[in-house]
Chain A
Amino acid sequence: MKTSAVTYVKHFALFAAIMGLWEVAARQEWVDSLLLPAPSKIFTALINIMFQSGLMWHHFGVTLYETVAGFLIGSVIGFVLAVLAAQFMGFKTYSTPYVIALQVTPRIALAPLIIAWFGFGISAKVVIAAVICFFPPFVNTLTGLLDYDRDRMEMFRSLRASRWQIFTQLQLPGAMPIIMAGLKTAISLALIGAIVGEFISASEGLGLLMQRFTFQLNMAASFAILVTLTLMGLILYWIMEVLDDRLVYWRHDTRLQQRATRDRRRYASLLKGVGGGPALQPAE
C-alpha cells in the first residue's frame, strides 16, 4: 500500500500546527521560554552547533562510536551465548538463573561500577552500551533457535542431515527474523547505554554536551542536542531496516519478487530445452 500525497500533506500540516502552536506559546510567554525555548531558537542553535561552530560533529562521532562498538560487542556475545545455550541444553539449564538475574537487574545501575573498572574514557561507555544491549539478541536468538518448525526438523532428519547442517540450514535461517528484531531493540538500547555512561562521567560525547548545555541553562542548545540524538537514532534504525530487508528478504514481498526474477534470468539457460514456461505470475 503506497502512502498517498494527501497523507503526506496531512502529516506536514499536523507537524506545522504543533510547531506553530509551540512557537506562539513560547513567544507569548505562555510557557517559560527559558525552560521551553521556541522551535525557531532550537533550530538556530542546531544550525550553530552543526554548521557554524561545528562543535557537534566530534561529539556525534564519539557517541556513535560508543553505541556501534557496544552494540557489536553486546550482540556478538549475546548471539554466541545463545547458540551455545541452544546446542547444549545443560548450558541453558545452568545459565538460566544468571541470565534471569541479569535481566531483572536494572543494568543501567551497573554503569557507575563499569566506570570504576574501565575508567572515564570511551571504553567504559562501550562496555556500558554492550551490557545494556546484550539481552535482546541473546533471548531472541535462543528463542528463535529453539522454536524451529518440528515438521521441517523431521524432514531434515529423514534426509540424514548432520547437526551442523540442521543448525546452518534450518535453525539459523529460521531464527533470523526474530534475531533481527532483537538486534533492532539492541541498537537503541546501546545508544541509551552510551548516553547514560556519558552522563555519569565523560569528557566528550553528545551526552556530555547535553549535560553541559543544561547546566548552562542553554535550553535551545540542549534541545538541539536532543534533535541530533533523534537523528542518530533514526540513522541507526534505518541501517537496521536495510539489513533486515537484505537478511530476512523472504519476509518482504518486493524482495521475493526481485529475487525470483533475478534467478529466472540467472538460470535461463537451464530452463531452455524443457519448454521454458511462462514468466512467473504470482500464485492465486
Chain B
Amino acid sequence: MKEGRIATMADTTIRGEGVSKIFSGSVVAVEDAHFDIRQGEFISIVGPSGCGKSTLLRMVAGLIDITSGNLTINGSVVSEPRNDVALMFQKATLLPWKNAMENVLIPTSLQGRKITDADRKQAIDLLQLTGLSGFEFAYPDQLSGGMQQRVALARLLNTGSNILLLDEPFGALDEFTRETMNMELLRIVSEVKATALFVTHNIAEAIFLADRVFVMTPRPGRLARIVDVPFGKDRTPDLAQTPEFNRIVSEVRSILGAGH
C-alpha cells in the first residue's frame, strides 16, 4: 500500500489519510485509503464494479462527505465542491437546449457573471482544441456520442480547474472512438498541465494513461496497491504492445485477482 515514490508535503496536491466512506451505516464503500497525488500527475483508478472507485472520486470532488479519515487538496480539507476541481462523467451531461458553445459556457454562467465575447471566444477555442471545429453551434442531439464527450471535455477545461476528475468519461463509447479520445485526453491534460484522476474498469486503458495506477478491490472497497507506470508523457498506441506494458498489466491483474 505504501508503494510509490515518497511525496513531500510541498508538491502534494491531493492527500488522503485513512479515507473511509460507509453508506447507510453499514455498507463500506471505501475503507482506509491512503494516498498522495502530486501536481501534474495522471492517476488512474482501476477496479471492478463496487470497489468504491467512483465513491473515492466523488469524495475528492466534494460531492460526498467522507465518513472518517482526512482528505485535503492543497492543504485544505475537502468539504464541498471547489473551484479548482472539476468533474467529467460517463454521460456527457450536456443540456440539450444549449448548443456546444453554450454548454461549454455553463461553468462561466454558473459563476453568475455576464457572458462576454471573450468568454465565447475561449469556449470556441476549447471546442477546437477538443477537435470540434465546425460544430461550435451544433446542439447535442445533432452530435454523436463521441462528439458529445468532446463537448463535455471542453466544458471541463473551461472550468479553469487544474484538478480534473474523470469518471469513466469514455466508457460508453466504442473501442475506436475511445482510443482516439484517450490519446486526445493525454495530449490535452499535459498541455494544460492539469492533475488528473481517471476512473476506469479497463486495466490496459488505466495503465496506458497513467503515471501511477490506484488498484482497488471490492467488498469492502480498498485501495489495494499503487502501481508505478514508468513511461514518459509521450505515449503512442504501440506502447500497449511492449513487454514492459504487459508486465504491468499482469501485475495489476494479479492484485485484482488476489483481492477476490
Which one of B61, B91, B137, B147 has the greatest number of beta carbons of chain A within 10 Å? B137
For B63, B109, B134, B144, the residue with the greatest tally of chain A CB atoms inside 10 Å of its CB is B134
Closest to A154 in B: B63
Q: Is the CB of A275 within 8 A of B128?
A: yes
Interface flags, A246-270, vs B, CB<8A=1, else 0:
0001100100110111011001001
| B109 and A169 contact, CB distance less than 8 A | yes
1/0 per residue, CB under 8 A from A, across B135-147: the answer is 1111101111001
Tally the A-B contacts, defined by beta carbons under 8 Å. Answer: 112
Q: Which residues of A contact B87 (CB under 8 A)?
A: 154-155, 158
Known: A151-B91, A158-B61, A159-B107. A283 touches B147 (CB 8 A): yes
Q: Is A281 an interface residue (CB 8 A)?
A: yes
Task: Say yes or no: A264-B144 contact (C-beta < 8 A), given A157-B63, A158-B81.
Answer: no
| Residue in contact with A280 in the complex, picked from B62, B85, B138, CB distance below 8 Å | B138
Query: If A159-B106, A270-B120 touch, does A151 touch B89 (CB 8 Å cutoff)?
Result: yes
Q: How far is the CB of B165 from chain A (nearest CB, A)?
A: 8
B81 near A260: Cβ-Cβ < 8 Å: no
Chain B, residues 64-101, CB within 8 Å of chain A (1/0): the string is 00000000000000001111011101010101110101
Distance in angstroms between the alpha carbons of A132 and B128 in the assembled complex:
52
Closest to B89 in A: A151
A274 touches B128 (CB 8 A): yes
Quick one: which of B86, B97, B133, B142 contacts A158, CB cutoff 8 A? B86
| Chain A residues whose C-beta falls within 8 Å of the C-beta of B139 in the assembled complex | 250, 256, 259-260
Given contacts A155-B93, A249-B97, A267-B120, contact A283 B144 (CB under 8 A): yes
- Tell me the smallest distance from the CB of B49 to a CB of chain A, in Å: 17
CB <8 Å contact, B121 and A270 = yes
Interfacial residues of chain B within 95-122, with CB under 8 A of chain A in the complex: 95-97, 99, 101, 106-107, 109-110, 112, 117, 120-121
Interface size class of B (residues with CB under 8 A): 35 or more
Contact B99 A259 (CB under 8 A): yes
B134 touches A277 (CB 8 A): yes
Mark interface residues in A151-194 (1 if CB within 8 Å of B CB, else 0). Answer: 11011111111100100011001101000000000000000000
**Does A97 reach chain B (CB closer than 8 Å)?**
no
Residues on B with beta carbons closer than 8 Å to the beta carbon of A154? 63, 87, 89, 93
When the two chains form their complex, are residues A158 and B63 in contact, meaning their CB atoms are under 8 A apart?
A: yes
A160-B83, A270-B117, A275-B133 known; A260-B138 Cβ under 8 A: yes
Does A282 touch B at the CB level, under 8 Å?
yes
- Asked if B125 is at the interface (CB within 8 A of a chain A CB), the reply is yes
- Tell me which of A159, A174, A264, A275 contacts B110 (CB under 8 A): A159
Interface class of chain B by DSSP: loop
Determine the distance from Cα of A161 to Cα of B106 in the docked complex, in whole angstroms: 10
Contact yes or no, B95 A263, CB < 8 A = no
Contact B121 A281 (CB under 8 A): no
CB-based contact A155/B138 at 8 Å: no
Given contacts A158-B86, A284-B144, are A152 and B138 in contact (CB under 8 A)? Answer: no
In the assembled complex, the Cα of A261 lies from the Cα of B125 at a distance in Å of 19
B124 at the interface (CB under 8 A from A): yes
Complex contact A283–B93 (CB within 8 A): no
Using known A-B contacts A169-B109, A263-B101, A270-B117, determine if residue A277 contacts B133 with beta carbons closer than 8 Å: yes
Q: Which A residues touch B117, using CB under 8 A?
A: 270
Instruction: For A249, list chain B residues within 8 Å (CB).
Output: 97
Rounded to whole angstroms, the CA-CA distance of A182 and B128 in the bound complex is 40
Tell me if A271 is interfacial: C-beta within 8 Å of chain B: yes
Judged by a CB distance under 8 angstroms, whether B159 is at the interface is: yes
Tell me if A271 and B110 are in contact (CB < 8 A). Answer: no
Bitwise interface map of A from 124 to 162 toward B, beta carbon under 8 Å scored 1, else 0: 000000000000000000000000010110111111111
Which of A174, A274, A278 is most buried by chain B, counting CB atoms within 10 A of its CB? A274
Determine the chain A residues whose CB is within 8 A of the CB of B134 once the complex forms.
277-281
Which 6 interchain pairs have the tightest Cβ spacing?
A277-B133, A277-B134, A263-B137, A158-B87, A278-B134, A155-B93
Known A155-B93, A169-B110, A263-B99; further 7 A-B contacts with Cβ < 8 A: A158-B81, A159-B81, A160-B110, A260-B139, A267-B137, A283-B135, A283-B143
Please list the residues of chain A having a beta carbon within 8 angstroms of any beta carbon in chain B.
149, 151-152, 154-162, 165, 169-170, 173-174, 176, 249-250, 253, 256-257, 259-261, 263-264, 267, 270-271, 274-284
Sample of 19 A–B contacts (CB below 8 Å): A151-B91, A151-B93, A154-B87, A155-B106, A159-B86, A160-B83, A250-B97, A260-B99, A260-B137, A267-B120, A267-B137, A270-B124, A274-B124, A274-B128, A277-B133, A277-B135, A277-B136, A280-B134, A283-B143
